Chain A
């Protein structure tokens, strides 16, 4: 698999990471996502990382960069389903992802996105 699929749900984009992220995959995702947001002028992006159980500092930084670039492109970003081990690793690495919104699962994440978009 050389790219991660980006699904469209109305004005939102849904990215589900089902495989182990490696650096090239993350960079491709960043490119694809920014193009896609621009293309459909998406209002929100939901990234599901519940299947991701290994992260390094690079992937952690990618998550925070993807969220940053979506915000510039006027799309709210929510990261959902982070595993405990991943959360602990990121904290130990010193990556607090301060600008990133988080939610426990996809359902809550979608709810959060809708509220955010409606309040705009």
Chain B
């Protein structure tokens, strides 16, 4: 059990405005106030709010155990703060600086308050230091969690964005693939393409790999799987957009694309698809 002494809390309460002022000054030294992403008023408001939460919580809570309910408000405040900092694009150091810059003003204050009693001073300093460190760690942890959420969401969005299935002609679907093919992406691509084949009743699907930077054995295997699945459904598959370097790699790796129809570019693939559907393209007279 580590409750701050009443004298400490009284000292903080009495000097709250002075403490706040020097904290904000400290924040300014760390560069937190000269930033276009967040206004001085916002930082001051957050500092004031957090200081009052801190005073209330430490008056009746155990300073060594932040998981207790007395600290709930402080924790939630810090989580919200970290989340908004993460959204605004601040880094973790900047976010943690918000808490750590409170240390010096608090230490100065305690030094004045306990000038007569060095033993009490050291124990109170230690407790305050522990408390602020824990709060700082909590801030960083929530900051990281929010950042991870952002990254995860972007990954999902990227996955959705990068696999459009387009209809080129009646009965001809095309899938322009962009970026590296891994197992997860291939799965998504395969599913959406097969689903579209069922929906549209298309007999020919063209997979264009112009935007795929490298083809290794794994990518080739994924392609083969997709082609086989398409054939099982009763449609045909053409792979187009094989660049010369990629063709060389495929041959060097000794990959067997035997059963697959391949074309150099999308135009050739479309021409073949039209021919198979019994269509011809002619120039209009005149």
Contacts and interface: CB of A to CB of B under 8 A. Distances in A.
Given A80-B234, A102-B232, A102-B234, A88 B203 contact: no
B232 A87 contact: yes
A97 B233 CA distance: 11
B234 A84 contact: no
A105 B201 contact: yes
B201 A104 contact: yes
A87 B190 CA distance: 10
B229 interface: yes
B197 interface: yes
Interface string B63-79: 00000000000000000
B229 A103 contact: no
B197 to A, nearest CB: 7
B33 to A, nearest CB: 56
Nearest to B191: A84
Contact of A84 (B195, B225, B228): B195
Contacts of A87: 194, 229-230, 232-233
B231 A88 contact: no
Nearest to A83: B198
A82 B203 contact: no
Interface residues of A, number: 20
Contacts of A81: 234
Contacts of B135: none
B198 A88 contact: no
B203 A84 contact: no
Contacts of B234: 79-82, 102-105, 108-109
A102 B231 contact: yes
A104 B235 contact: yes
Contacts of B230: 87
B198 to A, nearest CB: 6
A27 interface: no
A108 B203 contact: yes
A96 interface: yes
A95 B232 CA distance: 10
Nearest to B232: A87
B197 A96 contact: no
Given A83-B198, A104-B203, A105-B201, A91 B233 contact: no
A91 B201 contact: no
22 contacts: A79-B234, A82-B234, A84-B191, A84-B197, A84-B198, A87-B230, A87-B233, A88-B191, A88-B194, A90-B229, A90-B232, A91-B225, A91-B228, A91-B232, A97-B232, A102-B233, A102-B234, A104-B201, A104-B233, A104-B235, A105-B201, A105-B234
Interface of A: 79-84, 86-88, 90-92, 96-97, 102-105, 108-109
Given A87-B229, A91-B232, A92-B225, 16 more contacts: A80-B234, A81-B234, A82-B234, A84-B191, A84-B198, A84-B233, A87-B230, A90-B229, A91-B229, A96-B228, A102-B231, A102-B232, A103-B234, A104-B233, A105-B201, A105-B234
